Amino acid sequence: MNDHAGRGDSYDLDRGERKEFGSGREAVEPGEAAGGKAGFFPFSEVMMIITTVKLKGREDKRLEIAQTIRGIADQVRQCKGCVGVNCYQDMEDKNVFYNVQEWRSSEELDGLLKSKLFAALLGLETILTEPPQIDHLYRKGE
């Protein structure tokens, strides 16, 4: 299971408040069927696809990173299939940011992954201290 499914402290850049990272919702990894059965992942049983992008930036570029990911998030919210986008800053390491997106379908998410918006997010790499970490979680319908 992905580390992002756990808990941790973060700072919600959109709302200006401290937040416990992780929703406590059940997440399913690709290749694992709903109900814990192995095999082909049944997208028909998925309610949401949650994509997290972890960015660790240089200390002197924190403000630039925060402004950029918030600006991109505002545009991503307008994309077809986007249920929501939130931006967080890690409470323990202020140089770490998370962009968390929720999508209705893999096709709609694929549209973003091939877009100029996503390229702009990854374009921050020149001011990061490590490559962006991208993870996809799949949440079962309730």
Q: What angle (nearest 5°) sits at the alpha carbon of residue 77, between those of residues 32 and 16? A: 100
Residue from 114, 74, 121, 126 nearest 98 by CA: 121
Between 106 and 46, the higher pLDDT residue:
106
Residue with the two structure tokens 């192995």: 38
How far apart are alpha carbons 117 and 115 in whole angstroms? 5
Residue 18: band (very low, low, confident or very high) from pLDDT cuts 50, 70, 90: low
- What integer is the mean pLDDT of 80-106? 93
- The CATH fold of domain 3-140: Alpha-Beta Plaits (3.30.70)
Please check whether residue 100 is in contact with residue 86, taking contact to mean a CB–CB distance below 8 angstroms: yes
| Average pLDDT of the chain to the nearest whole number | 75
- What integer is the mean pLDDT of 107-135? 88
